[in-house]
Chains A and B, each alone.
Chain A
Amino acid sequence: KAGVTQTPRYLIKTRGQQVTLSCSPISGHRSVSWYQQTPGQGLQFLFEYFSETQRNKGNFPGRFSGRQFSNSRSEMNVSTLELGDSALYLCASSLSVSGRLGEQYFGPGTRLTVT
């Protein structure tokens, strides 16, 4: 079974631009979560989508948004990029249902650099 895939793997953007990252979960997984990893703040939860609905949201500004499609693939969007948005963005998928926490499987991440 294929693992979690994320595209693109690397991205360079300029301040003020917007960016869209994509995540394809493991087949059969309906939950997709997004995390931001930076040297200063570590791993921080952005949001989780389950069956096309946002189920959880972390403490990030509204510039960070996401969505999930009917095939469980998810995208996250960051608008008006700032230098501080440079990070590794990780996506995780889970088989868990009915609100219970399950095992999460992470993708390789997208390395975003904002210049």
Chain B
Amino acid sequence: AQSVTQPDIHITVSEGASLELRCNYSYGATPYLFWYVQSPGQGLQLLLKYFSGDTLVQGIKGFEAEFKRSQSSFNLRKPSVHWSDAAEYFCAVGAPQGGGNKLTFGTGTQLKVEL
């Protein structure tokens, strides 16, 4: 069975500071990995995804993530956080083949940005 762990429930950073949100997954092979963001009362917006190839992936809004197979991690980073980045962030994992479009999500990390 696949699973995702987001160890940080809440993170507070100052505007302009760098950000790293942690994500660890459990899966028997190389999964497909995603990061989504959710603003209050909204659905989920896809930030970036890893399917294969280059382990450093770029996404929207200046976010990037690095897939590290040896650590079973897919951490999300941003060099300089903006106040509008305050939201909840979810890491998700899915089976590349045979599992359809089922995603397993982590419990989320709530990001607060201090001005």
Interface residues of chain A, those whose CB is within 8 Å of chain B, are: 4, 31, 33, 35, 42-45, 48, 50, 55-56, 58, 90, 92, 94, 96, 99-109
Which of B18-26, B76-84, B103-111 forms part of the interface with chain A? Answer: B103-111
Which chain A residues lie closer than 8 Å to B34 at the CB level?
104
Q: Looking across the interface, which residue of chain B has its beta carbon closest to that of A94?
A: B101
Which chain B residues lie closer than 8 Å to A31 at the CB level?
100-101
Q: Looking across the interface, which residue of chain B has its beta carbon closest to that of A31?
A: B101
Q: Could you tell me which residues of chain B, from 20 to 71, have a CB within 8 Å of some CB in chain A?
A: 32, 34, 36, 41-46, 49
Q: Is the CB of A50 within 8 A of B43?
A: no
Q: How far is the CA of A42 from the CA of B3 in the complex (A)?
A: 13
Q: How far is the CA of A55 from the CA of B18 in the complex (A)?
A: 41
Q: Is the CB of B94 within 8 A of A101?
A: yes
Interface residues on chain B, size class: 20 to 34
Q: Looking across the interface, which residue of chain B has its beta carbon closest to that of A93?
A: B101
Q: Is the CB of A56 within 8 A of B45?
A: no
Which chain B residues lie closer than 8 Å to A90 at the CB level?
43-44
Q: Is the CB of A45 within 8 A of B104?
A: yes
Which chain A residues lie closer than 8 Å to B41 at the CB level?
108
Which chain B residues lie closer than 8 Å to A108 at the CB level?
41-43
Q: Is the CB of B102 within 8 A of A106?
A: no
Q: Is the CB of B101 within 8 A of A48?
A: yes
Query: In angstroms, how far is the closest chain B Cβ from the Cβ of A89?
Result: 10
Which chain A residues lie closer than 8 Å to B95 at the CB level?
101
Q: Looking across the interface, which residue of chain A has its beta carbon closest to that of B51?
A: A101
Besides the known contacts A56-B99, A108-B42, A109-B43, 13 further A-B residue pairs in the complex with CB atoms under 8 A apart: A43-B90, A43-B92, A55-B101, A100-B97, A101-B95, A103-B49, A104-B34, A104-B103, A105-B46, A106-B44, A106-B45, A107-B43, A108-B43
